[in-house]
Amino acid sequence: MALEQPYPDLDEFLVAIGEAGLRVSDISASEGAAGNISLFVGWPMEVRRRFPNQEALLLPEPVPALAGRLVLVTGSGRRLRDIHRDPTANLAAVIIAADGQHATMYTSPRRLFAQPTSEFNSHLAVHNDQIAASGANFHALIHAQPPHLTYLSHLPAYRDQDYLNRQLLRWEPETIVNLPEGIGVLPYRLPGSPALMELNIAGLRGHRIVLWSKHGVMARSDQSVTKAADRIEYAETAARFETMDLANGYKAEGLTRAELQEIVQAFRVPTTLV
């Protein structure tokens, strides 16, 4: 669902990105400079007061659906846990040109990075795909590396999407309510590569969070960046329960199929997974 007026202003987004980065760090999903965040904003917004410096930028992929609009994105090598302390030093405001292939990047005099995140191609491509399909005026993406989800993706059985969801959805009622499509599973591809980007676009068409095997996750939301962070936390919590059960020799019962069906019916969850 697209945001309704009155729209948030730039300062509200800067605070929200900082909060999301801190939450992702709190669950140990962004060690060092791992992880990145971006927001697509589809209404006019003045950024030069916070980001007065500007330079031309050639985009890694054409994004015609984003033409003329704003993407806020974390800089390369920046720690998500530090964003809240000084958002403008850690973020860039990228205004996409009318041709969808070029942009102007606005940054702060306190800028602490050279370029946008190395996963910028995936961020832009997913935003472009989602906005072209939905016509929404807001979209948020977070890439993070939650340890329990990432560990499970190193086990061949859990790289089967049906098996992963069957195992993870059984731990808490909240999981299927908040992730009704479950978790999409992508095979390993080189980080930042065109191959990963293409798989990521397709995976996020049908899911609100996808697992990049042996790497991490990407979550999306058309409501708020903190909602995307919530989705990572729900999925990682389920994975933590699953790894606990693995370590204990699969002794826990978990929610039965009948119990999950009862939850789905009671909360009118739009899912086909149970």
Q: Tell me how far apart the terminal alpha carbons of the chain are, to the nearest angstrom.
A: 25
Q: What is the pLDDT of residues 247-256, one digit of tens each?
A: 999 999 999 9
Q: What is the pLDDT of residues 207-219, one digit of tens each?
A: 999 999 999 999 9
CA–CA separation, 149 vs 158, rounded Å? Answer: 9
pLDDT score of 86 more than 50 = yes
Domains of the chain: 10-266 (3.40.225.10)
CA–CA separation, 148 vs 236, rounded Å? Answer: 6
Instruction: Count Cβ atoms within 10 A of the Cβ of residue 265 and give its class: 0-12 exposed, 13-18 middle, 19 or more buried.
Output: exposed
Name the pTM for this structure.
Answer: 0.96
Arithmetic mean of pLDDT, 37-59: 97
Return the pLDDT at 5.
Answer: 55
Mean pLDDT, the chain, rounded, equals: 96
Arithmetic mean of pLDDT, 17-33: 97
Residue 203's region, left for phi above 0, alpha for psi from -120 to 50, else beta, is alpha
Return the pLDDT at 181.
Answer: 98
The helix (H) or strand (E) run that includes residue 219 is strand 216-221
The single-letter DSSP state of residue 75 is: B
